[in-house]
Amino acid sequence: MPTVVDRPAQRYVAERATLAIPEFPRIADRLPPLIGGLAARGVTPAGPPFFRYRVLHPGMRFTVEAAVPIDGEFTPDEPAFLDELPAGRYVLDTYVGAPDGLAAATASVLAWGEAEGLVWDRREGPDGEEWGGRLEVLRTDPREEPDPTRWVTDLLFRLDR
């Protein structure tokens, strides 16, 4: 059952791409180099990596960021960049299973929120639906748990109010 949680602002290092679901490995594959780049410079991640969905474009395309949370100052090498998740109230739901079930899990959380009368931090922009905070937090390291049916992902959606 989804819950509403308060989250502080969180700095992160990321790379961004606009792509369709079949192309998703192109952005997902950026996480290991991001983490490796941080480690090479002595920076420990401040939590698990995540995907931040910035824009949902018409035709099932997304502008999404592969991101690693950090504490403190850091200047990444391009094409990586530094950004910050906004503080606020978020709906949290935990999904266990392979990535191909995330779309249905997301739809379920969004339907729950609508039924509860929640208002999401999203608006229509020139390129599609823009989200202030829509995340998939990867709590399972695939190197430690190779079975994707056992992967744990937190779904987080920022509320507008």
**Residue-level pLDDT at 74:** 87
Question: Cα separation of 56 and 64, whole Å?
Answer: 9
pLDDT at 155 over 80: yes
DSSP symbol at 47: S
Residue range 91-119, pLDDT digits in tens? 999 999 999 999 999 999 999 999 999 99
**Residue-level pLDDT at 30:** 97
The arithmetic mean of pLDDT across residues 151-158, rounded, is: 98
pLDDT at 126 over 80: yes
pLDDT at 161 over 80: no
Question: Which residue, among 64, 122, 47, has the nearest Cα to 90 in the 3D structure?
Answer: 122
DSSP string over 70-133: --S---PPTT-EEEEEPPEEEEEEEEES-GGGHHHHHHHHHHHHHHTT--BSEEEETTEEEESS
DSSP symbol at 31: H
Residue 153, CA distances (Å) to 29, 50, 86, 96, 140 in order: 17, 9, 20, 6, 7
- Phi then psi dihedrals of residue 33, to 5 deg: -65, -35
**Residue-level pLDDT at 159:** 98
Question: Cα separation of 158 and 135, whole Å?
Answer: 9
Query: How does the average pLDDT of the chain come out, rounded?
Result: 96
The arithmetic mean of pLDDT across residues 19-34, rounded, is: 96
pTM for the whole structure = 0.96
3-state helix, strand, coil in the chain (%, to 5): 25, 45, 35
Residue range 45-93, pLDDT digits in tens? 999 999 999 999 998 899 999 999 999 888 999 999 999 999 999 999 9
Percentage of the chain surpassing pLDDT 90? Answer: 94
**Residue-level pLDDT at 73:** 82
Question: Which residue, among 10, 24, 149, 23, has the nearest Cα to 88 in the 3D structure?
Answer: 10
